[in-house]
Structure 1
Amino acid sequence: SSDLLREAVHAHREVFIVSDLQSSSFTRIDGDSTTPLREKASVYLVRIGEGVAGLERNLSIDSVAVLTSLVRSDRPVEIEAFVRNGSTEDAVGSLVTLSYDGVRVAQRAIDIPAGSTRSIVVSAPPQRRGIISAAVELERDAIVRDNVRWTAVIVPPRPRTILIGSTADIVYVRTVLTLPGLEDVAPELTYYPTVSAAASRLSAADAIILCGGPVTTSDVALLSSVIERGAGLYINAYDGQDIKALGLAFGLGIQDVTEAPSSAPWRVKNLDRQHPLFQGVFKSTGDDRSVETPSILRQRSVTGGTTLASSDGGAILAEASLGAGRVIYCGLAPTTSWSTWPMTGLFAATTVRSVLYLTMPRDAAVQALRGESVSLPVPPRLASRDQFALTDVTTTTRMVAPVRLPSSVTIPIPSQNASGVVKVTSDNMSPVGAVAFNAPVEESQLQYDDVDKAVSRVATLVVDGDRVVGINDSADIRQSIAEARTGSELWPLFLVLALLSAFGEMFVARYAARDGGVTP
C-alpha cells in the first residue's frame, strides 16, 4: 500500500482494511517495531463477520502425525489428525480426506461435539517409494485456510544389505529375505563369509546381518564406525567368544551359551508388542499364548539395551543404538541345532521387519510455521555430499549446498509463503528429509477483538495514528464511512478557496493603497 500511495496523484489517500478482527490477526503487529505504512493516509478499519449467521461454524485441523513406524509402499500408512470444532453447534458426518501428492486416496466421516476436539485416523498405501506430500483436509467452511494440514511420508528405497556368515548359518535368513511375494520389502542382498571379506563394502550398506564369526578387533572398530554413521546391524547369536567384544561396542552384554533341559525346552515370553518391530504382527495385544513360540534348546542371553523379548532362560532380543545407527541382537542362532526358531513365522517376521526397522528414517517430516526458515539435518551417511535437490511447496526444484558446522551438516530451508511440503533428496534421488509448512493453529480460533482495541493496534503501524478510524456498523457500512470522512473530503476545496481569498485581499490592498496616494 505504501508504494501505491506514493505514486497516487489524487488528493484522497485512504486505506481500507476489511477484517473480522480476530485476535490472531494481530499476532505479528504486537511484536513489530517497524512502520509498514510510511505514507500519510486515512486508514478505515471496517469490521465484518461477527454476528453473521454461519460464520462461527468452523472446523479446523490442529495437528497431524504419521503413526506407522515401518512404512512400506504396499501397506496402508496410518495418519492421525486432531480436528477441532470451534463453533457452538455439533458437527455431524464431517468428511476428512487424505491426499498423497495432491491425489485423494482415502476419506472418512467424523462427528465432533461443539467446542471439542476429536482424533481420526485415515490410511492408504503410498504405492511408491520416496518422499510423499500428505495432506489431511476438511470440507469448506467459514475459514478455508485451516481446513488442511500437511506432513510427509518417507518410503525409503530397497535397503542395500550385506549378509555375513557361512552357507549353513545364513541359509534360513536368506530364504525368508527372498520369499516370493515380498519383493516390495526384499533388500538388495550381498553375501560374504566374514566381516573382513566384506570390509570394503560395509560403508555403502544400509543394513548388515551377522550370522557368524570370526569377528576381529579391527572388524569391531569398522562395524562401530559404519553403525555410528547411520547403518543398521542385526546380530544373530553364534558360538565363539569374539561376539562378546562386538556386543560391548554397542552397550550389550552378551552372555555365554546356556542350555535348556532336553525334556522342557524354553519358550518365548514377554514380547514387546508395542515396539515397531511387532506392531500389527499379532491380532491380540496381551496374550503370549498367541505367539508362535519356538522350542529353545540353546541361547545366548543379553543384558543392556532395550529388551524386546525374553524366554525362560533370559532376554533373547534387545535393541541398542550408536550415533545415528541402530543395533538389534537375537540370542537364538538361525540354525535348527539351537532351536526350532528358523521354522516359525515369528522368525520370518522378525528378520524381515528388522531390516525395515534398522533402515527406516528416525524422524518424520520436520514441522514448521509458514514464513519461517529452518535448517534440516543431513544424515551422517550423506554428509559428504556437495549438493542436494530441494523441491519447494510449488514443486520447483533447485540444487542447494549444505552448511557444514563443527557438530553437524544441515541444509538451509527458505521460508515458504504457502502451506505444503519441502522435499530434499540426494543426487541419486534418495530421500534425505522433508519439512512440512503449515499455518499457525491460532488462526482458526474465532476470538474477536473490539474495534477500539484493533484501532489502537493498527495505529502503531502508520505514520499518523489519529487518522485510523474504526467502523463497526455492519448494517450500513457505506454510511459509516461517509460519516468518518465528513470534513476530510472538502479540505482540498477549502484550501483552494482560502488561497484565492488571500490573493484577492492582496490585490485589493495593493490597488487601494495606490489609489489612496494620488492627489486630485
Structure 2
Amino acid sequence: MFGFLNSALLWAMAAVALPLLIHLLTKRKLKVVAISTIAFLKRLERENIRQLKLKQLLLLLLRMLIVALLVLAFARPTLRQNSAALAQRARATAVIIVDNSLSMAAAPEGISSLALARRQVQAIADIFSPGDEIHFITAAKPATLLPGGPFVEADKLRDAVQTLPQTWAETDLAGAFALAREVLEKSRNVNRELYVLTDGRAANLPALSEITGVRGYVVRYTKPLPNNLTLTGATLGNQIFERGKSFEVTAIVANNGANDVQSQLLHLYLNDKRVAQQSVAAPAGTQRSVTFRAVPDTTGFIAGRMTLEDDDLPADNTQYFTFYIPPHRRLLAVGERPADLVYVRAALQFSAANNHAATQSWKEITTKELAAERLQSYDGILLANVSRFPEGAAERLINFMDGGGGVIVMPGSEVDLRHYNEALLSRINLGAFGETMGSLSRSDNFMQIGRIDFSHPLFDGVFESSADKPRLDSPQFRFAVQLRLSSGATSIIDYSNNYPFLAERRVGNGRVLLFTSSVEEAWSDFSFKGIFAPLLYRSVVYVAQSRDNLQETATVGSELTNVLRIPAEELSVELPTGEQLKTPVQVLGQNYQVRVTETAEPGFYQLRDRGQALHTWAVNFNAAELSTAPVAEEALAAAAGVTSLAALSAEGDLRAQIEAARYGSELWQIFLIAALIAMAIEMLLYRSTATGVASGKGKTVELSQENAGVA
C-alpha cells in the first residue's frame, strides 16, 4: 500500500501548475508582417515550427514533473508492507521485552548482548511521543513486568533500562509473552506494538492465539562466539570422603565457540585454595571430561569450585560443588542381646583406632530399648540380629533414612524374615527375603563370594593397586538368606550362586546396606577373614555420610531444601554475596525442613544456626540455557501471538528500521534522484531549444535578404 509520512505537504502539489501559468503568461503574440516571399516563409514554418513547439511542450512537462517529484520527495512516500496503516496522531501502547538471561552475557565483540540491548531500548524510546504507554518486561526466569509502568516519558524508561541487571537465570520468553499479551489485550489505544530483544535461546515456546492489530518487532543477537569453553558440570559420583584421603571430581567441558581450543587452563579450588590444574583441549562443537584427584585437609563442609580461564563468555566458566566430611561420627548399634555385637564392636574399634580421619562415638542398646531412643541424634545405625521391630520403630527408621541417616542390617538366628519383609523391606522398596540357603549343622556345605563390584566406594583403597583383578580370601558361608531385589536396589557382593550377599538401596536422603548372612560362627567365618573389619568400617563411614552428600547440585532459580534432625533456634542462610536471610522451619514428621527460594546467583548457600554451619548447598547456572538452539522467526512470532515479527538489525539505525517497518519502505530518495535527473534533461533540452531558435532566426534573415535581392 502506497502512503506518505508528511502528507500535509501534498498541498504543495498545486505548484505543478506554475510552469504552465508562466508559459501561458509569457507566450509571445506574433504580428502579421507582409513579406514578398510568403511561399518561402510558409515552407520554413512547416519544417521548423513543429519541432520547436514539441521541444517547448517537453520543457513544460519536464518542469511540471520536476516540481511534482520534489513535492513528493518532501512528502516522504512509503510503500507499506501491510494494510494496517499507523494512526500517527493516536496514542500508542508498546511492550518492550528484553532478554536478560545468562546467554545474553555473551560478548563476541567485547560488549555483551545485554549491553547492546540496553542501548537499543533507549533508541526505541525516542520513537514514542509524550502520552504513549510503554511497558517493560524482563525475560529472565521468572519473566517480570517492571513495576512503575506504564512509562509515559522516555526519560523514565531510559533510567529503568540503565539499571537492568544481567542475571544467571535461563530464558522465560513464554512467560514474557504471556505478560505482554495481558497488557496488550487490556489496552484501548489504537496503536499497539511489541518489541522483543533476545538471542532467541528458549525452549518450550507454545504458540498463542493471534492478537489482532498488534505490530511486532524483534532484534536478535546471533553472532557466534569465537572462543568459548563452557563448564557444564562437576560430578563427584558415589564415593567416601575422608580427611587426608583422595577423592575424584570430574568436570564436563564443552566447546560452544566457533574456534578450536588447543590449550586452556582449568583450575580446581577447595575452600578457596587452588589444589590442582589441568590444560584442556577441545575442538569446536565437542565435549571433554577432565578428572581431578585431590586430598582434602579439613573436615566439615568442603566448598569446591572449578574455574576456566576467561574467554568470550566468562559467566559459564565456573562450576561449584560441595561435600561433607564428618569430623565426628555418632553410631548406634542395636542387638537382640549384647553378644550379637561382640565381633562388630571389635572390628569397628580396631579400624577406628587405625584411622585418624575422624573420631566416632559408639552406643549399644538392645532391641527393647530401640523404641525409646532418639534416632536423629545419630549418623548411622547398625542392626545386628534384631528379631522384630518394636511398635513404630520401623516407621522411625524409615524417617531416619529419609532425613539422611544410614542403616546397616545384619541378620541372625533370631530374625523374623517375614516381619522384616512386611515392616521394612517392602516399604523402602529394597526387595524381600526368600528361602534360606545352606545348613547350620553341616560345615562341609558352604558358599563363597562370587561377583564383587570393585568400583563401589566401599572397596576404594582397600586393595593394593594392581593390573590384575584383586584377589580376596573368601569367607565360607554355611547359612544365608535368599534376597530378591526390587528395581532400584543394587547388589554390591554376590555369592557364587548369584544371590546377593550385600545389597544397597537409597532411601530419601539416606542409604541402607543389607547383609544376607550373619557374623555368628554358626553361619559363617566372615568375622575371622581379613575383609571383615575394613568392609564393616567402610560400610559405617559410607552410610554415616549420606545426609549431606546425596543431595544433587541445584541450579539458579531452584528451591533448596534440607532436613534437620534437631530443632534450631536462629536459622539463617548466607548467600554468595554475604547477605544473611532469616529462614523459617517447617515440621516434617520427626524432622524439621528448611526451604530456601532466594537462589538468584551461583555459588555457595550456607545454612547457619547462631553462626554454626549446618549445611552447604552448591548452586550453578543451568547449562541447558547455553546449549539450546535459537528458535526460528516463525516460532517466535507464533509464541508472541502476532502475525509476524519484523526483523531489526542490531547494528543499523534502529529508528530508521522501525519507521520503515511501521510505515513501509521510504521512497523519497528515489523521487529526489528522479527530480535531479529530470532537471538535467530539462537543462539539456532547454539549451538545444535555445540554440535551434537562434539558428532558425539566422537562416530566416539570410534567406530573406537573398530573396529580396532577386526580387
- If the length of structure 2 is used for normalisation, what is the TM-score? 0.52
CA separation of 1:157/1:342 partners in 2, compared to 1, >3 Å: closer, same or farther? same
| Structure 2 residue aligned with 1:419 | 602
Identity %: 20
| Structure 1 residue aligned with 2:439 | 259
| Structure 1 residue aligned with 2:289 | 119
CA separation of 1:315/1:387 partners in 2, compared to 1, >3 Å: closer, same or farther? same
Name the structure where helix makes up a greater proportion of residues. 2
Correspondent of 2:275 among 93, 99, 105: 105
Deviations 1:395-428 (A, max 9, x none): 4445422245899964342435543111224569
Tell me, yes or no, if the aligned pair for 2:322 and 2:616 is still in contact at 8 Å. no
CA separation of 1:253/1:312 partners in 2, compared to 1, >3 Å: closer, same or farther? same
| Structure 1 residue aligned with 2:621 | 438
| Structure 1 residue aligned with 2:357 | 184
Q: Are 1:310 and 2:498 counterparts? A: no
Structure 2 CA distance for aligned equivalents of residues 227 and 29 of structure 1: 43
Q: Which runs of 5+ in 2 are unaligned?
A: 1-109, 119-136, 162-196, 198-218, 426-431, 634-641, 658-711
CA separation of 1:445/1:329 partners in 2, compared to 1, >3 Å: closer, same or farther? closer
Tell me, yes or no, if the aligned pair for 2:255 and 2:283 is still in contact at 8 Å. yes
Give how far 1:116 is off: 1.2
Structure 2 CA distance for aligned equivalents of residues 254 and 286 of structure 1: 38
One-letter identity of the residue aligned with 1:86 = N
Structure 1 CA distance for aligned equivalents of residues 287 and 628 of structure 2: 13
CA separation of 1:21/1:108 partners in 2, compared to 1, >3 Å: closer, same or farther? same
Structure 2 CA distance for aligned equivalents of residues 435 and 324 of structure 1: 16
Give how far 1:446 is off: 11
Correspondent of 2:554 among 367, 372, 382: 367
CA separation of 1:241/1:278 partners in 2, compared to 1, >3 Å: closer, same or farther? same
Tell me, yes or no, if the aligned pair for 1:310 and 1:316 is still in contact at 8 Å. yes
CA separation of 1:300/1:185 partners in 2, compared to 1, >3 Å: closer, same or farther? farther
Give how far 1:211 is off: 2.4
Structure 2 CA distance for aligned equivalents of residues 403 and 23 of structure 1: 42
One-letter identity of the residue aligned with 1:71 = F
Give how far 1:241 is off: 4.5
CA separation of 1:24/1:472 partners in 2, compared to 1, >3 Å: closer, same or farther? closer
| Structure 2 residue aligned with 1:353 | 538
Structure 2 CA distance for aligned equivalents of residues 96 and 226 of structure 1: 43
Aligned to 1:270, what secondary structure does the other structure show? strand
Tell me, yes or no, if the aligned pair for 1:59 and 1:147 is still in contact at 8 Å. yes
CA separation of 1:198/1:431 partners in 2, compared to 1, >3 Å: closer, same or farther? same
Structure 2 CA distance for aligned equivalents of residues 350 and 471 of structure 1: 64
Give how far 1:342 is off: 1.5
Tell me, yes or no, if the aligned pair for 1:247 and 1:254 is still in contact at 8 Å. no
Give how far 1:104 is off: 1.1
Alignment of 1:79-90 (within 5 A): 79-90=249-260
Which piece of structure 1 moves more, 167-176 or 128-137?
167-176
Q: Are 1:381 and 2:555 counterparts? A: no
Give how far 1:393 is off: 0.5
| Structure 2 residue aligned with 1:154 | 324
One-letter identity of the residue aligned with 1:170 = L
| Structure 1 residue aligned with 2:340 | 169
Tell me, yes or no, if the aligned pair for 1:56 and 1:446 is still in contact at 8 Å. no
| Structure 2 residue aligned with 1:233 | 407
| Structure 1 residue aligned with 2:384 | 211
Aligned to 1:87, what secondary structure does the other structure show? coil
Tell me, yes or no, if the aligned pair for 1:95 and 1:107 is still in contact at 8 Å. yes
Give how far 1:438 is off: 2.7
Tell me, yes or no, if the aligned pair for 2:411 and 2:518 is still in contact at 8 Å. yes
Aligned to 1:303, what secondary structure does the other structure show? strand
Q: How many residues align?
A: 439
Tell me, yes or no, if the aligned pair for 2:331 and 2:381 is still in contact at 8 Å. yes
One-letter identity of the residue aligned with 1:221 = G
Tell me, yes or no, if the aligned pair for 2:320 and 2:618 is still in contact at 8 Å. no
Structure 1 CA distance for aligned equivalents of residues 302 and 359 of structure 2: 21
RMSD of the TM alignment (CA)?
4.6
Deviations 1:415-462 (A, max 9, x none): 355431112245694644514143665458998999xxxxxxxxx9xx
Larger radius of gyration: 2
Structure 2 CA distance for aligned equivalents of residues 443 and 233 of structure 1: 41
CA separation of 1:242/1:378 partners in 2, compared to 1, >3 Å: closer, same or farther? same
Tell me, yes or no, if the aligned pair for 1:20 and 1:448 is still in contact at 8 Å. no
Tell me, yes or no, if the aligned pair for 2:565 and 2:590 is still in contact at 8 Å. no
Correspondent of 1:343 among 517, 528, 535: 528
| Structure 2 residue aligned with 1:6 | none
Q: Are 1:65 and 2:246 counterparts? A: no
Aligned to 1:99, what secondary structure does the other structure show? strand
CA separation of 1:258/1:151 partners in 2, compared to 1, >3 Å: closer, same or farther? same
Correspondent of 2:424 among 247, 250, 254: 250
